[in-house]
Amino acid sequence: MKFQLTSLFAALLLAGCASVGTVDPSQLPQAPTAYKAQSANGAAALTASWWQPFADPVLDDLVARAMTANTSVQAAANRLAQARAALGGAEAARLPQLGVAAGAGRAADPGARGLTQYNAGLNLAYELDLGGRLLHERNASALDVLAREQLLADARLLVQANVARGYLALRALDAEREIVRGTVAAYGETLSLTEKRARAGDVADLDLARVRAELAANEAEALALDRRRLELETALAVLLGEPASNFRLAPTAWSTALPVVPAGLPSELLQRRPDLAAARSQLQAAQARVGVAQAAWWPSLSLTAQGGGVSSEVANLLKSGASTWGIGLLAALPIFDGGRREAGVNTAKAQLDGSAIAFREQFLLALKDVEDQLGALTLLQQQGEANARAVSAASQALKLSDTRYRNGLVSQLELLDARRSELANKRAALQVRSAQYQATVGLIRALGGGWSEASVKVAGV
């Protein structure tokens, strides 16, 4: 799986920002030429609604409910609303400000008589953005909005993945509970047979005690699985934004399909990761804020204008004879500030370096996620094949041991060992199957969502 990310990410990160700060190229991530692990062969392409190819209506319903009421998604949406409001303020600062003013004052004339004057008018103010400070502030706020949009998408993707993982883990647990309960029933039958033989004097009390111990141990294991299921169910309720006391998910057969991961996934898929996109936007915002800090060295220049009327009678304010107007230009340039502006620039540059480091870390973690899940899927497929052979052999051994035990050809210990072996192998095979589902969801999460058939063809698959 080839990558062409380095030059592309560098261009995206540095475009349009050379005048307000630079990023050390050594701080940018260097993408590998290929993944260590390759995914399994296949061509089942996922869509943007990546959970639908699992072909499970219950999962579809749970994801839809989570997208409506999950509190993490709602919090991310609220942070986006705050960022948009801040952008509105930054954009408003670049526009002329127009206001209405009115007032009344009393003063003494030379004759010591009190005189009340009324005034009303319009005030206009406009700051000339000589150093580009207002522009950089607006650009930084716009990038903050973009980052919040991407973080909202990441929150949605994370919740979707957690819902899918929780649901699939619960279905796997239901299947495991069925296996354990079947084993409990088998031990119950064995106990009944052993008790009959004990009453007939064919087996010793020790054999009877062993069967009772095995039955009790498996009953305890079944209860432990029930407790674990309850925990998974309440965790799903929280993801759905629903009270745990009201949420129920009835056990059912595990028929969820397992999407096949294509053999070659293009590097462009990794770019869609919303957390990476957010980190990139935050880095660009930090670059813009370097420009804000540098603009503090420029003088501030404001244009003001006012017009209105002044009169000792309110009724005369609007008459032409009472009108006044004025135009002004206000310039300010600090001469000595104790190093405050220089410190501001240094702080902004340090924050820019920190954002570059954060982006690099996020990129490396993203690559690790993909490597982990691809490697896991490859090894789990092999492990599943080995487990299937083990289950088949253990089941055959149990049948033979049971027949031989009923005919008195083998001891009870051999039968119990055969049953333990079959149970252990069945549960191991089920856990591997569950891990395959979890790794598939993890890979989709690591790539920022599903892939389309067209995107796979780009990679030559």
The domain ranges of the chain are 6-10+38-95+120-301+319-458
Quick one: fold of 6-10+38-95+120-301+319-458?
Answer: Outer membrane efflux proteins (OEP) (1.20.1600)
Question: What pLDDT digit, counting tens, does each position of 33-78 carry?
Answer: 555 554 444 434 445 688 988 999 999 999 999 999 999 999 999 9
In the predicted model, is pLDDT for residue 431 greater than 50? yes
Amino acid at 53: P
In the predicted model, is pLDDT for residue 461 greater than 50? no
Whether the CB-CB separation of 451 and 45 falls below 8 Å is answered with yes
Beta bridge partners of 108: 114
Match 């290929």 to its residue by tokens.
Answer: 34
Q: Cα dihedral sign for 185, 189, 192, 195?
A: negative
Instruction: Give the pLDDT of residue 15.
Output: 38
Question: What pLDDT digit, counting tens, does each position of 294-329 carry?
Answer: 888 888 888 887 777 776 666 666 665 566 777 877
Match 């049948």 to its residue by tokens.
Answer: 399
Question: What pLDDT digit, counting tens, does each position of 197-214 carry?
Answer: 888 887 788 888 988 998
Beta bridge partners of 306: 123, 326
Please tell me the chain's helix, strand, coil percentages from 3-state DSSP, rounded to the nearest 5: 65, 10, 25
Least Cα distance to 158 among 150, 146, 169, 168 occurs for 150
Least Cα distance to 171 among 215, 232, 111 occurs for 232
Question: What pLDDT digit, counting tens, does each position of 214-238 carry?
Answer: 899 999 999 999 999 999 999 999 9
From CA 330, how far away is CA 317, in angstroms rounded?
Answer: 28
Least Cα distance to 203 among 212, 213, 193 occurs for 193
In the predicted model, is pLDDT for residue 31 greater than 60? no
DSSP summary character for residue 187: H
Instruction: Give the pLDDT of residue 62.
Output: 96
From CA 293, how far away is CA 297, in angstroms rounded?
Answer: 8
From CA 212, how far away is CA 219, in angstroms rounded?
Answer: 11
The alpha carbon of 381 is separated from its chain's Cα centroid by a whole number of angstroms, namely 27
Instruction: Give the pLDDT of residue 395.
Output: 92
Average pLDDT over residues 244-267: 81
